[in-house]
């Protein structure tokens, strides 16, 4: 089963907790800041995502949604 991760870059505060907990390492920091001045994260290598949802569970800002395909 594959997953699809959607991250609201404006809600993300760049704490990188999701990056640390992702077992497949599919989340990476973005190279530019959001409107609030934080460096948000973005999904990458989505073909590796298994849709576990851990990233969404650990996000304190509720900026991540995970869908299984």
- In angstroms, the CA 25 to CA 20 distance is 8
| Cβ-contact 56, 23 below 8 angstroms | no
Confidence band of 10 (pLDDT split at 50, 70, 90) = very high
Indicate whether 69 pLDDT > 80.
yes
Indicate whether 19 pLDDT > 80.
yes
Q: How far is CA 54 from the centre of its chain?
A: 10
Task: Give the pair of three-digit tokens for residue 47.
Answer: 């073909």
């Amino acid at each position: 089963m594959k997953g699809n991760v959607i991250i609201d870059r404006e809600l993300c505060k760049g704490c990188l907790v999701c990056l640390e907990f992702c077992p497949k390492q599919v989340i990476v920091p973005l190279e530019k800041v959001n409107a609030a001045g934080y460096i948000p994260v973005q999904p990458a290598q989505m073909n590796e995502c298994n849709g576990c949802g851990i990233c969404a569970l650990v996000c304190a800002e509720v900026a991540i949604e995970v869908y299984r395909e």
